Amino acid sequence: MLLPETASPANVLVDLIDGVGVLTLNRPAVLNALDLATVRALTRQLDAWAHDPAIRAVLLRGSGERAFCAGGDVRALYELQRQGAPELVCYFDEEYALDCRIHRYPKPTIALMDGVVMGGGMGISQGCTHRLVTERTRMAMPETAIGIFPDVGASYFLSRLPPALGVYIGVVGDTLSGADAVASGLADRLVPSALFADLRALIAAIDAEAWPAAPTQTKIPSLLTAPVLAAVERHFGHGSMEEILAALAGETDPLLRPWVERTQGLLAQRSPLMLCVTFAQLQRGRRLGLEDCFRMERTMMEYSFAYGDTMEGIRALLIDKDRNPRWRHRTVEEVGREEVEAFFG
């Protein structure tokens, strides 16, 4: 069944191909960012298809060639918080419920993670049974750059990676290629983007498990080379952000200097408070199930907008664009343990 309100030419386009329900995020001008209307449209159609015998699987994709989904519509969330609007709470309640629904969906789910896949785009794709990336994929969880923490279930899916790797991806927020996504466990298969042009052929390839050769070159260089993965294990497996930063500073391998300097530069731009909060979040996430991870993130997000660095980070990077956030702390050493614990209720 195609619901009329979601089938309208708005935020989500709906189609049916060979028994597979196709949901296309249709906001290419904003890299298919998720607003509340989009979240609700996806939820309604997924609910309608969950027990529809005519639907054997669901496929998620983005409109245009630039992005699958760049995340939540953060500018809109900033304005909602400034206005004290109740829709801010509704947004996170409903977005997290959607993400969790995809993890628990009773049918196969396919995510075509072509182009930019960040934040909320990770939320709607990491629970899918078939996560396909391409040579154009640019994947990241860059939330600490705007004074947030990696949410949309990242407490669960990042903490299920090798521990040091999950921490690295969560706190640094560097951009991964499609090959990196597969190597890290955040995608299942690297395929040519040309395969996505013909959905019938793609569905047939999935049915037959007959895949074309993976592309040998990607739009961005692969970050997670064997030496870098070994360095991530050495440096990001420590017990605090202070120890991680000290370990990076002590790296002596000259071949790793470009990666170390890049990583140090990114960490220097991040909110020190949210680096410490994210580190604690991922430690807790390892001990929690899926639903409890989402409940924890819901508590954290409300506190983050009200008392954290979130509003200042969004202002500096996305609203005023002065790229000079005035974080509450200058260094991670200044962040008190009680300040971190407050995010968890």
Tell me the residue range of the domain where 43 lies: 1-345
The count of domains in the chain is 1
- The domain that contains 308 carries what CATH number? 3.90.226.10
Instruction: Report the C-alpha gap between 36 and 27 in whole angstroms.
Output: 13
Instruction: Report the C-alpha gap between 145 and 225 in whole angstroms.
Output: 24
For residue 327, what are the contacts with CB-CB under 8 A and spacing of at least 6?
A: 147, 271, 272, 273, 309, 312, 313
Q: Which of 217, 175, 224 is nearest to 193 (CA)?
A: 217
pLDDT at residue 8, rounded to an integer: 41
- How many C-alpha atoms does 208 have within 13 Å on its Cβ side? 9
pTM of the model: 0.94
pLDDT at residue 4, rounded to an integer: 35
pLDDT at residue 219, rounded to an integer: 84
- State the angle between helix axes of 241-249 and 163-172 in degrees (0 to 180), rounded to the nearest 10: 90
Element (H, E) at 152: none
pLDDT at residue 336, rounded to an integer: 97
Task: Yes or no: say if 130 and 206 are a contact pair by the CB < 8 Å rule.
Answer: yes
Instruction: Report the C-alpha gap between 19 and 180 in whole angstroms.
Output: 32
306 to 81, 94, 334: CA distances (angstroms):
8, 19, 20
pLDDT at residue 220, rounded to an integer: 87
Task: Yes or no: say if 131 and 265 are a contact pair by the CB < 8 Å rule.
Answer: no
* Residue-by-residue pLDDT tens, the chain, 345 positions: 443 333 344 899 999 999 999 999 999 999 999 999 999 999 999 999 999 999 999 999 999 999 999 999 999 999 999 999 988 989 999 999 999 999 999 999 999 999 999 999 999 999 999 999 999 999 999 999 999 999 999 999 999 999 999 999 999 999 999 999 999 999 999 999 999 999 999 999 999 999 999 998 888 899 999 999 999 999 999 999 999 999 999 999 999 999 999 999 999 999 999 999 999 999 999 999 999 999 999 999 999 999 999 999 999 999 999 999 999 999 999 999 999 999 998
